[in-house]
């Protein structure tokens, strides 16, 4: 998080003091660093440069239009999993020939929409989906290209069970041995099956997991080519890790992972195959923070409880996945620097005392918490806290549970902070329900 710095003890995003953003837009609020997004995209691009892949950022990880447009302006394509995400992608300015449409349950309407706008590639997850896509494309008088998502039965022990998608017990993909017959040339009237797609889950902390899956994909390519089935694309998905802990380095750096994967795929590149990757959290996670304010401090049975104004409706990951985010007051101490300095301060906190505290939200659920028994400096009512690494699967998973409006989003670039989504109002909460009260 190179662009999240403590300057004279005050947290800044790039050149902006976060307290100024809260004063203007209230709390809770999501903040993103434009430069971090750009830098992370460039790092990933460099890590996989030996393959020159089409990079399609995963819209589901951070779907704000302004964030998507920023990445599109850097040259990114977009990976979408619904008709709504396809609409967002087009509104963000990406061209259809840089959109890959994935997802296990595409409806007839979504497929028709994607065929109509001419997306670059469909990642297909079942035989039934192929038949539906073929019928829709035929009715529209168009030909479409498809990559078959295969399930390689490869699972990483470091990936949460709810986000591991490469094993045989998940709903994703087609078992490899069942998939071969789908590549038969001219099997479908309007569909060309020309690609293989895998996605093993997220995050995948070990490059070895990718390599184990690619062993099976290489064998598959060889068998298909021997049977005169043309293969043009290998889509290796995403799931590349981000840094959530206070350690100075991620478990497996993106550069190392990219080097291993590129080395393994060089032979397929020499055969003329092209490549696609679909990163999400590796670009956006550490580009965002959630700011939240302490409403109350109370004494529990065993330790203090800090009740903040953000809840699981704003950031679901700790409740859903047991995710562990760094949390720290936005004004504390006199240290400066960036992520490493923050890490050292979390561990040592200078001469200030730490106390274990539960950081919980206002939602009427026991699971509504961000950290339990977390050592933090002594907090007070109105203390402003930063929850780090929230740029992926934060706002995109937010809800209106307990009839709480979703927070605003702000994009910071240099000394400029731009509102990119306004805070939802009470009227927003019921806007789609007014129809039920009309003429009654």
Residue 379 has, within 13 A of its CA and on its CB side, a CA count of 32
Cis check for the bond before 203: say yes or no (omega within 30 of 0): yes
**281 carries a ligand binding annotation:** yes
Residue 275 has, within 13 A of its CA and on its CB side, a CA count of 24
**423 carries a ligand binding annotation:** no
62 classed as catalytic: no
3-state SS class at 363: coil
3-state SS class at 341: helix
The two three-digit tokens of residue 317, written as one number: 């990951």
Q: Which residues of 245-257 are buried (b: 16+ CB within 10 A; e: fewer)?
A: ebeeebebbbeeb
What CA–CA distance (Å, rounded) separates 351 from 341?
Answer: 15
**279 carries a ligand binding annotation:** yes
The pairing of beta strand 174-175 with beta strand 191-197: unpaired
**88 carries a ligand binding annotation:** no
**132 carries a ligand binding annotation:** no
What CA–CA distance (Å, rounded) separates 113 from 314?
Answer: 31
Cα 92 to Cα 76, 119, 360, 421, distances in angstroms:
11, 15, 35, 14
Tokens 């298909």, residue located = 224
**374 carries a ligand binding annotation:** no
- Of 56, 229, 252, 364, the catalytic one is 364
**331 carries a ligand binding annotation:** no
**280 carries a ligand binding annotation:** yes
The pairing of beta strand 384-387 with beta strand 327-329: antiparallel
What CA–CA distance (Å, rounded) separates 236 from 325?
Answer: 27
The separation between CA 363 and the C-alpha centre of its own chain, rounded to angstroms, equals: 24
**218 carries a ligand binding annotation:** no
Measured CA angle at 323 (ends 15, 59), to 5 deg: 65
Under the phi-then-psi rule, with left for phi > 0, alpha for psi from -120 to 50, and beta for the rest, what region is 405?
beta
Annotated binding site: 239, 278-281, 317, 321, 365, 393
Annotated binding site for pyridoxal 5'-phosphate: 239, 278-281, 393
Annotated binding site for substrate: 281, 317, 321, 365, 393
* Residues forming the active site: 364
């Amino acid at each position: 998080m190179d662009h999240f710095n403590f300057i004279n003890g005050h947290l800044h995003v790039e050149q902006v003091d976060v307290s100024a953003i809260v004063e203007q837009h209230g709390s809770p609020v999501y903040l993103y660093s434009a430069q971090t997004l750009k830098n992370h995209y460039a790092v990933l691009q460099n890590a996989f440069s030996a393959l020159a892949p089409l990079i399609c950022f995963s819209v589901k990880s951070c779907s704000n239009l302004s964030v998507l447009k920023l990445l599109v302006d850097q040259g990114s394509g977009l990976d979408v999993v619904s008709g709504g995400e396809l609409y967002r992608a087009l509104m963000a300015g990406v061209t259809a020939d840089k959109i890959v449409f994935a997802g296990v349950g595409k409806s007839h309407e979504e497929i028709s929409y994607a065929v109509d706008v001419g997306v670059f590639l469909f990642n297909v997850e079942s035989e039934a989906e192929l038949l539906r896509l073929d019928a829709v494309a035929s009715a529209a008088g168009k030909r479409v290209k498809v990559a078959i998502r295969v399930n390689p039965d490869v699972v990483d022990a470091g990936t949460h069970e709810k986000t591991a998608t490469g094993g045989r017990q998940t709903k994703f993909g087609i078992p490899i041995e069942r998939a071969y017959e789908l590549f038969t040339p001219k099997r479908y009237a309007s569909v060309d099956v020309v690609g293989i797609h895998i996605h093993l889950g997220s995050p995948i902390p070990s490059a070895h997991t990718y390599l184990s899956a690619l062993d099976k994909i290489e064998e598959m390519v060889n068998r298909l080519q021997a049977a005169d089935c043309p293969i043009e694309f290998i889509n290796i998905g995403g799931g590349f890790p981000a840094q959530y802990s206070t350690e100075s380095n991620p478990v497996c750096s993106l550069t190392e992972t990219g080097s291993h994967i590129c080395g393994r795929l060089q032979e397929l590149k020499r055969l003329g195959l092209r490549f696609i990757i679909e990163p999400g959290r590796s670009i956006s996670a550490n580009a965002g923070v959630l700011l939240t304010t302490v409403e109350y401090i109370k004494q529990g049975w065993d330790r203090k409880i800090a009740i903040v104004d953000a809840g699981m409706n704003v950031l679901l990951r700790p409740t859903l996945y047991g995710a562990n985010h760094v949390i720290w007051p936005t004004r504390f101490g006199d240290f400066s620097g960036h992520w490493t300095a923050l890490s050292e301060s979390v561990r040592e906190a200078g001469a200030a005392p730490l106390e274990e505290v539960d950081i919980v939200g206002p939602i009427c659920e026991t699971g509504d918490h961000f950290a339990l028994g977390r050592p933090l400096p002594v907090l007070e009512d109105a203390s402003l806290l930063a929850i780090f690494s929230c740029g992926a699967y934060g706002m995109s998973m937010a809800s209106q549970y307990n009839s709480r409006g979703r927070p605003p989003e702000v994009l910071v670039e240099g000394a400029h902070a731009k509102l990119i989504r306004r805070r939802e109002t009470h009227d927003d909460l019921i806007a789609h329900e007014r129809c039920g009260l009309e003429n009654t």
